[in-house]
Chains A and B, each alone.
Chain A
Amino acid sequence: GAGVSQSPSNKVTEKGKDVELRCDPISGHTALYWYRQSLGQGLEFLIYFQGNSAPDKSGLPSDRFSAERTGGSVSTLTIQRTQQEDSAVYLCASSFDSLSYNEQFFGPGTRLTVL
């Protein structure tokens, strides 16, 4: 079956512009996660959704970052007034539900470059 898809695959933007990153999870998966992978660093948790609710937003780096999920499916991560330090690969994952022992399956990522 289809895996997690993300769009765009690459995004180049200018400092100060807003960007939207999209994630389409595996069909039937109720939990969705966003992570960030910066060069030379491990994956960093940003936020997770169970259904349309986001019980844990603790990983969002600043109030410039927000995310929403509608219809229990597609999610959008929005970064406002982008800064150069936002440059990274943004990865989305989904799992059957948010029980801690369930495997998370990752999409290919969106590489964001802020000039």
Chain B
Amino acid sequence: EDQVTQSPEALRLQEGESSSLNCSYTVSGLRGLFWYRQDPGKGPEFLFTLYSAGEEKEKERLKATLTKKESFLHITAPKPEDSATYLCAVNTGFQKLVFGTGTRLLVSP
């Protein structure tokens, strides 16, 4: 069974304090790993897609990386507006995303 595990469940950072979120996966065949951001009361907002081990993508203070077993979302010098729940999902070729339970990030000024 395809599984996605995210850690930590919650993370509290001071503004400017860099850190990483982890997404480990066990799948039969990876066809894409997706990162989303979700704010309270809203739908997930697409951030990145990664397809193969070694791939990296960046957007502002966020950088996503992928290995054969896990993905990391690195947050450099975060700001309070980066506070949100970050979701990781995998697509194994069956047209549905399997999601982890997310990491709740709180960045304090």
Chain A residues in contact with chain B, CB under 8 A? 4, 31, 33, 35, 40-45, 48, 50, 55-56, 59, 91, 93, 98, 100-101, 103-109
Contacts and interface: CB of A to CB of B under 8 A. Distances in A.
Given A91-B44, A101-B31, 18 more contacts: A31-B95, A33-B95, A33-B96, A35-B99, A40-B101, A42-B102, A44-B99, A55-B95, A56-B95, A59-B96, A91-B43, A101-B32, A101-B49, A103-B34, A103-B46, A103-B49, A104-B46, A106-B46
A10 B16 CA distance: 37
Q: Is the interface of B mostly helix, strand, loop or mixed?
A: loop
Contacts of A100: 31-32, 91-95
Interface residues of B, number: 27
A45 B4 CA distance: 14
B44 A48 contact: no
Nearest to B44: A106
Interface string B10-32: 00000000000000000000011
A40 B87 CA distance: 13
Contacts of A35: 97, 99
Nearest to B90: A100
Most chain A beta-carbon neighbours within 10 Å: one of B44, B89, B95, B97: B95
Interface in B83-109: 87, 89, 91-102
